[in-house]
């Protein structure tokens, strides 16, 4: 009887190991996804449903920035649209991977619906398979909307890879799932100030 119990426990442990193989530990994994751009891939409506914490939602937010400012906390993977009364609308975002994160202050210089995509030479050098030009549309890596930051190469934009929201995988741009970037696009005008913050280094 004791031997049978020991065998049952061993089998249960083996089944549990198989079930969890390849599953990242809690608190790890999402920020370390090793994904590349997938031009032409069109996500399904189900794939565009992000986790509840990444949906736009009002939150208390302490800042000295005036209402209407966008504040991006790279380490938190959240973008905040400052509102009156110590509040903000919070959006979940994907950010630049290690070596491509930055901080600064810029303004939205232009806005585009279903923008065309022209990968810069540096990106093509890293990913030679990328097209040199791709017209806007559901399979475009810039997604449904783009907010261009100053005269830089950086943008706040949609994505055809909604599974990357909450991760650090981009080349320095900030991405939102398409339904969320459309919501943000409709709320902010050209000229909006954007403040990008990184975690303080200890």
User: Is 173 known to be catalytic?
Assistant: yes
Catalytic residue, chosen from 111, 145, 157, 175, is: 157
- Contact indicator for 177, 162 with CB cutoff of 8 Å: yes
Question: Rounded to an integer, what distance in angstroms lies between the CA atom of residue 168 and that of residue 93?
Answer: 9
User: Is 157 known to be catalytic?
Assistant: yes
Q: Measured between alpha carbons, how far is residue 174 from residues 46, 128, 154, 196, 202 in Å?
A: 22, 22, 8, 10, 24
For residues 102, 142, 52, 192, the Cα torsion angle rounded to the nearest 10 degrees is 60
Q: Measured between alpha carbons, how far is residue 159 from residues 20, 90, 182 in Å?
A: 29, 18, 11
> Residue 2 burial by CB count (10 A; 0-12/13-18/19+): exposed, middle or buried?
exposed
Place of tokens 């089944």: 15
- Contact indicator for 145, 111 with CB cutoff of 8 Å: yes
Catalytic residue, chosen from 173, 176, 181, 184, is: 173
- Contact indicator for 71, 82 with CB cutoff of 8 Å: yes
Q: Which residues contact 183 (CB under 8 A, 6 or more apart)?
A: 56, 91
Catalytic sites, residue numbers: 157, 173
């Amino acid at each position: 009887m004791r031997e049978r119990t020991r065998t049952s426990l061993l089998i249960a442990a083996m089944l549990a190991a198989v079930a969890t193989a390849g599953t990242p530990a809690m608190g790890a994994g999402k920020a370390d996804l090793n994904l590349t751009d997938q031009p032409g891939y069109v996500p399904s409506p189900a794939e565009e449903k992000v986790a509840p914490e990444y949906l736009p939602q009002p939150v208390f937010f302490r800042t000295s920035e005036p209402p209407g400012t966008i504040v991006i906390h790279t380490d938190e993977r959240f973008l905040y649209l400052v509102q009156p009364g110590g509040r903000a609308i919070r959006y979940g975002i994907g950010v630049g991977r290690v070596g491509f994160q930055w901080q600064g202050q810029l303004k939205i210089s232009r806005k585009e619906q279903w923008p065309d995509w022209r990968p810069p030479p540096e990106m093509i050098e890293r990913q030679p398979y990328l097209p040199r030009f791709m017209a806007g549309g559901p399979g475009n890596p810039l997604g449904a909307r783009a907010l261009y930051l100053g005269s830089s190469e950086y943008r706040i934009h949609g994505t055809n890879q909604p599974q990357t929201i909450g991760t650090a995988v981009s080349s320095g741009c900030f991405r939102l799932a398409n339904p969320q970037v459309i919501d943000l696009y409709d709320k902010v005008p050209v000229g909006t100030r954007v403040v990008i913050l990184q975690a303080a280094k200890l």
